[in-house]
Amino acid sequence: MKEFDLVIIGSGIVGSSLAYYSAKKEKKVLIIEKNFAGYNSSGTAQGGLSPYLGDDKKIRDLHVESFNLHKELKSNILEESNINPHYTEKKLFHIISNKNEISTLENAISYYEDPSKFEFLDEEEIRKFEPKLKSARFGALVSDDYMEVDSFNLTNALKEASINFGAEFFINNFSSKNMILRDSKFVGINIEGEIINSNKIAFTSGPWTKLILKDHIDVDVKPLKGQIIKAKTNEEFENSFYWQGDYATKKIDDYLWIGTTEEDVGFLEGRTDEAKNKIINSFKKIFSGFSDLDIKEHTACFRPYNERNEPILRESTEIEGIYVGTGAGRNGIKLGPGMGKRLSNMIF
């Protein structure tokens, strides 16, 4: 009969990070995944590691902590996993939408240890970096401390590194019926008649976490659908731009990634022409040129979201031994390592 210190349900960025940081502590970890690591949003996300520009100290601390973990992963995860996540450093231009936003951004960056990594530029100064910019009436906040990563490769690098540290990976369509509970305690799982002992289980299954656990505990998470366009162009585009919820960046695959939508449509799958047109029209309002823009790929995924727009990291108060890590929304790739490490520290 097998025994594990921790069972993890879901191998997206949070689950793979949890496995990685737990296995490095020499804990015996079993990862159970329905499809493959990075199957949904963790494998299709743009992978921008942008600075937090809100006013919630708790969330900001998690962002800073997680960004520092990305810097560590940039140095060692290739050697640990033999998978290159392709961390890329570049400038991020946050185009300011109105005059009132300037003071909000000034306040946000004042809390950073080194505010000099940020700079406000006017429209003409921005055009020195990107001549095809159409309009930025109120300028932009530019961050030099910005990276992008291949989200699919990073998720799989963390998973493979955890296996190299002793974790095990198993494909199974897990449901709550597979859990063995005694006296409101988790004591193991039953997979096709095989009993696996463990007194700790973590659900890192994105928006599906709520569905899996609905008969046992309530998890305040739901799907938020996002669609992305990837296009070929011969035009240069060296920096990353963000404006009013949308972005554009040319990644290491030489595709121009443009996104994104935020659709509260439940688990309604599929790409839509409406979303594609919205994304392209938004891009063309900000940039001129790109007459050769050739759409090569159009993806849609479900991000785990809650109305408070903050990650969920907690132990169940109803059933001892059940832990939850989800709800990072659009910040899943950036916050994944931080969430995984914090959850590991909570469990062990």
Q: Flag whether pLDDT at 24 surpasses 80.
A: yes
Confidence of residue 176 (pLDDT cuts 50, 70, 90): very high
Residue 309's pLDDT is 85
Domains and CATH numbers, the chain: 1-88+147-221+309-348 (3.50.50.60)
In the structure, what pLDDT confidence band is assigned to residue 308 with cuts at 50, 70 and 90?
A: confident
46, amino acid identity? Q
Query: Over the stretch 56-76, which tens digit does the pLDDT of each residue have?
Result: 999 999 999 999 999 999 999
Going by C-alpha positions, the residue among 38, 34, 341, 7 that lies closest to residue 167 is: 7
Which pair of tokens denotes residue 53?
Answer: 């520009």
Say whether pLDDT at 219 is over 90: yes
Q: How far apart are CA 346 and CA 313, in angstroms?
A: 9
Q: What is the mean pLDDT of the chain?
A: 96
Closest to 258 (Cα-Cα) out of 293, 300, 228? 228
The proportion of the chain whose per-residue pLDDT surpasses 90, expressed as a percent, equals 97
Quick one: average pLDDT of 237-259?
97
Give the SS3 label for residue 197.
Answer: strand
> What does the DSSP 8-state code read for residue 133?
B
- Give the SS3 label for residue 245: coil
- Torsion on CA atoms 334, 117, 261, 209, rounded to nearest 10: 20
CA distance 110 to 129: 25
Give every strand in the sheet of 48-49, ordered side by side.
48-49, 147-148, 88-89
* Mean pLDDT computed over 28-35: 97
Confidence class of residue 296 from pLDDT cuts 50, 70 and 90? very high
What is the rounded average pLDDT of the residues 23-40?
96
The yes-or-no verdict on residue 1 having pLDDT over 90 is no
Backbone angles phi, psi at 272, to 5 degrees: -130, 145
| Overall average pLDDT of the 258-270 stretch | 96
What mean pLDDT comes out for the span 128-154? 97
Percent of the chain having pLDDT more than 70? Answer: 100
- Please give the average per-residue pLDDT across 21-30, as a whole number: 98
Reported as a single tens digit per residue, the pLDDT across 194-213 is 999 999 999 999 999 999 99
